[in-house]
Chain A
Amino acid sequence: MTKNLNINDLVRADGGVQDRRIYWDEDVYQMELERVFARSWLFLAQDSLIPEKGDFLTTFMGQDRVIVTRGEDGQVKAFLNACSHRGNIICRADSGNAKNFVCNYHGWAYGSDGRVSDIPLQDEIYPKSFDRSAMDLRQVRVESYRGFIFGTFDDSAPSLSDYLGEMGWYFDTFMDVPGGSELLGPPTKVRVKANWKFFAENFVGDFYHAGWTHAAAIKVIGGPLMGILGNQATPQGAMQFGTKYGHGFNAAPGTDEVFPHIHQGHIAEMWEDWVRQRTPVLKERLGDERATLYNAIWDGSMFPNTSFLRGIDTWKVWQPRGPREVEVWTWTLVERDMPEELKQGIRHTNEKTFGVAGILEGDDGENMEGNTQTAEGFITRDQPLNAEMGIGWEQLDSDVFPSMMSEPGDNEAAQRNFLRMWRTMMTSDSWDEIMASRSKEHKK
């Protein structure tokens, strides 16, 4: 379709203008699977989803199927979910508990470490020279951050902690609370005919759409979000952040009296009590800046395809299914020490607003499909897209907040930062190159 793609021509160097083929073209997508998904840290699981020895779940890294399992030693491992013999899917369950995984085709078995544990009749049908150890399943490099488990196929990638960089500092606002945070599953899943990047960008920095796209739901839910209804005002005191490797978020902080969240009724009161009681603890533990961000509504993404909302408390992965289709996986984000009633209430809010029948989620899906599908027109596809909102207002490492920060919250600084990371990954041959390029940009 599009031969000899020059990625540098598809996204302007500052990220502010994009060629629509990056959201449409099959060749770009295949290159993304290789250069972005096979080299980045991707979300796999959370400790709470596989708490016991032998617990497993199956998921995707890009379009690679993987099994994530907690072994007999309590360590989490991940490996390809494709038999080394003839390539069949090994495990077709979404989750469960198993000591080993047996392929349906010829009965080859693999342990919870992904190593081959049985090849039926091996001694009679394979020569002595057969290299059985080469049949072990391709391992994923697994690391976790505060109980959130990520994997990469690239041994030359920086550590997960370095890859998160300053985003880890921000994540600590809710991940490093006493007891930590956890996810409630299993994930709900829904297929949307849109390019995955439109969702990741929407979550990384698009506050601007909330008051308009979600006007109907905001009007019904009411509360502190009413101020942005119909895009009549930008959210007061909101800020936008972007970190070195493309992660970013918006945050609109509340005050001692105002709690920006979309929980309702009794659960809203429980949430506010919880925040009120936790804030001084966090002030002590993490300092004033993050205590302020703790009582804030956030939307954010971790490059490339993990997103979250705080104050709604959703955690999402955009699983790519080709350039024009994505599978949206959704979990609920809660603090481990919260009372069970509050956790279930938060789950309910998340499902009601950002679940498969969520009263806000549906609005987004429709937009993302539209963004993607109009590019089927030859002339339409040739029209660039724009993300220049707030361009030039970014500041690096302000006295208060690390990384790139910009105001007001209605801004596309984080989207541009995300797209620059994407451009760098797509055009760099090694992580050394990626690190050098991104460090240069994020050096004050």
Chain B
Amino acid sequence: MSTNKPGAIVPLELHYEIQSFLFREARMLDSEQFRPWQATLTDDIHYWLPIRENRFRKDKRPEPTPENSSSVYNDDYTDIEHRIQRFETGLAWIEDPPSRIRRIVSNVEAEYTDNENELNVFSNIILYRNRRQDEEAWFVAARRDRLRNVDGAWYLARRHIVFDQHVVLDENLSVFM
């Protein structure tokens, strides 16, 4: 891998491997297999969903909001562990009965980075959440992932989610994307 230039697209077979990682991850999250999903995260995971603001084009401040500004998720491994534990207490009333969640992952691109064990992976998702009798939400986002190869297996080391709503139009965003 060391000869591959940062930014170059990975070859077909590796692309397939990465895409399979994302699809498998999607299936685990849709079916509430949070512990197996957690096992695919690195210990130094940064899971981040900053907020979007309406800004004039001439406004040079970063958008979405940068680190050390407002976010919806700004989680490390412990934060994710807490979210999963909360779910496992059996006391999280809002997920009982459970929501129905299904996501479509698309526009997958994988690029080499300056670290021979890591790839930048881009994808888009459409996530459908259906709750209770008739509550529906559609969430659309882009994901900027960093995947790391450790002893031949891929792990998620960073997920930066660019979420395409300013006002979040459903009652919460309590769903891993």
Contact = CB atoms under 8 A, between A and B. Distances in A.
B is bound to A: yes
Interface of A: 92-98, 184-193, 213, 215-217, 219-221, 264-265, 327, 332, 344, 347-348, 351-352, 355-359, 361-363, 365-366, 369
Contacts of B166: 94, 189
Contact of A352 (B51, B55, B79, B173): B79
Contacts of A192: 171
A234 to B, nearest CB: 19
B130 interface: no
A187 B56 CA distance: 17
Interface residues of B, number: 39
Nearest to A58: B54
B151 interface: no
B172 A365 contact: yes
Nearest 8 pairs between A and B by C-beta?
A216-B91, A216-B92, A215-B91, A362-B172, A190-B168, A365-B171, A189-B167, A357-B173
Interface string B75-107: 100110011011101111110000000000000
B43 to A, nearest CB: 15
Given A191-B169, A216-B86, A356-B168, A186 B69 contact: yes
A185 B53 CA distance: 11
Contacts of B73: 351, 357
B75 A95 contact: no
24 contacts: A93-B53, A186-B51, A186-B65, A188-B168, A189-B167, A190-B171, A190-B173, A193-B171, A216-B86, A216-B89, A219-B89, A221-B82, A351-B72, A352-B82, A356-B72, A356-B172, A356-B173, A357-B73, A357-B172, A357-B174, A358-B172, A359-B82, A366-B94, A369-B171
B113 interface: no
A47 B58 CA distance: 23
A195 to B, nearest CB: 14
Contacts of B3: none
B61 to A, nearest CB: 8
B86 A217 contact: yes
B68 interface: yes
A316 to B, nearest CB: 13
Interface string B43-56: 00000010101111
A93 B57 CA distance: 10
B59 A188 contact: no
A220 B79 contact: no
Given A92-B54, A344-B68, A363-B94, A190 B172 contact: yes
Contacts, number: 117
The A interface, classified by DSSP as helix, strand, loop or mixed, is: mixed
B74 A351 contact: yes
Contacts of B174: 357-359, 362
Contacts of A186: 51, 53, 65, 69-70
B170 interface: yes
Nearest to A363: B94
B85 A184 contact: no
Contacts of A347: 70
B51 A366 contact: no
B171 A93 contact: no
B40 interface: no
Contacts of B75: 352
Contacts of B53: 93-95, 186
Contacts of B171: 190-193, 362, 365-366, 369
Interface string B138-177: 0000000000000000000000000000111111111100
B65 A215 contact: no
A93 B59 contact: yes
